Amino acid sequence: MKALTKRGIIALMAFALLLAAGCAKSETVEEGPEEPAPDRSLVIGYAEQGVTVVEDPDALAKEVEEMLKKASEPGIALSYKNDAVSEDGINFSCYIANSPDNKYDAFVQIFADEAYQDEVFLSQLIRPGQAFESLTLEHELPKGDTRCYIAFTQVETVDGEQSVHAQTFFTMDFHVI
């Protein structure tokens, strides 16, 4: 008998999960009075038309392997100082870096509101090991303290095409004195 390969084991595990789901679905249920359907307005339903079962078991194994590979990658290393300071509300002294521990170029997007609507800064790419020590915002922040919301986005280039690799969010306090 042939030894199972990693791909074969993954395919068997996927098959076992599908079989278990089918068995659980086929349990008998006593019918009782019909209850009103719950409000599912915020639930994304399953596609019923235009979909099919994956016919190539190698394709499923490849997807699982890719998912496991991505899960084993390290997360995003952050390097920043929590406070940025300005006298005019536009030009800030700060420190936001793409940590040398990161593998990918990144860009920074700063919002002056927690709804991520008031964008005050959008950078170009910075390489791992580079940092911003000063920023010029798109518009002036008021005197006092403003909690800003920062999107730190890693970008990877594959075959000349850029795409988002990973993204994380954090806050910083911007002080206008």
3-state secondary structure 92-120: EEEEEEECCCCCCEEEEEEECCCCCCCEE
The helix (H) or strand (E) run that includes residue 85 is strand 83-86
Q: CATH number for 78-176: choose from 1.25.40.90, 3.40.50.150, 3.40.50.300, 2.60.40.2550.
A: 2.60.40.2550
Q: According to the model, what pLDDT value does residue 22 have?
A: 55
Count the Cβ atoms, other than its own, within 10 Å of residue 45: 6
Start-end of CATH 2.60.40.2550 domains in the chain: 78-176
Q: According to the model, what pLDDT value does residue 19 have?
A: 52
* C-alpha distances in Å from residue 141, one per residue of 106, 113, 151, 161, 177: 25, 11, 18, 36, 11
The pTM is what? Answer: 0.61
Low-confidence ranges of the chain (pLDDT < 50): 1, 23-27
Q: According to the model, what pLDDT value does residue 75 have?
A: 84
Are 174 and 145 in contact by the 8 Å Cβ rule? The answer is: yes
pLDDT digits (tens, 9 = 90+) for 6-29: 555 555 565 555 555 554 444 455
Q: According to the model, what pLDDT value does residue 5 have?
A: 57
| Strand pairing report for 105-111 and 91-98 | unpaired
| Strand pairing report for 144-158 and 161-176 | antiparallel
Q: According to the model, what pLDDT value does residue 26 have?
A: 47
Sign of CA dihedral 104, 105, 111, 117: negative
